Structure formats: C-alpha cells, structure tokens
Amino acid sequence: MANEATLEWLLETGGSYVWEDEIFAVTALDIELDDAGAQRLATLAGVEQIAINAKRLSFEGLRILAAIPELASLVISECPLSEAQLEQLRALGPEVDVIVD
C-alpha cells in the first residue's frame, strides 16, 4: 500500500515509473526533487532502479536513495557531488552513473 501512495505522489509531481514482474524502476529526471522527495522515494519497497535530477538534492538526500535495499542502479543528472562523494554512494551497493549533459 505504501508503494502505491508514493508512486501516485511521484506521478503527480511529474515523475514516472515501471513496475512489472521483471523490473521496478522510477524516473524523476524531468523534475527537481528535494531531500524530502528523496526520503519519500526511499520508502519504496523493491525498487531496483532510480533515475533522478539531483539539482536540488544534497549528498545526504542521495545517500538515502543509494541505501535503499535491493537498489541496483542510481542514475543522476545535474550531479552536485564530488567524485569522492560518488564513491561513497557506490560503496552502499548500487551502480551509480552520472549523466553528463
């Protein structure tokens, strides 16, 4: 039930998702979520991939996302982080990719 409420909120903010048998992925590249939005996404159970615009996110907000259990991939656009901070996110488990415009 918590996933449904969070995904409804995501759609209302302009994000999207795919939730099928093989994959559960969230995309928030076209919206600028803040740390509160990242915390909300972090409540998603079973999410495997997140693609997010990080313009308004702090390191802590991205760390919260990277620590989601079962998260395999975190794709970041408008990344405000240093390479050392990115390595800290990778150490939490997911593959972390930065989109460079």
pLDDT in tens, 42-90: 999 999 999 999 999 999 999 999 999 999 999 999 998 999 999 999 9
pLDDT greater than 80 at residue 101: no
Q: How many CB atoms lie under 10 A from the CB of residue 74?
A: 24
How large is the average pLDDT for residues 22-44?
A: 95
Report how far residue 94's alpha carbon sits from residue 16's, in angstroms, rounded to the nearest whole number: 20
Nearest to 29 by CA among 62, 52, 57: 52
pTM surpassing 0.95? no
Q: How many CB atoms lie under 10 A from the CB of residue 30?
A: 12
> Sheet harboring 95-99: ordered strands across?
16-19, 24-28, 49-53, 73-77, 95-99
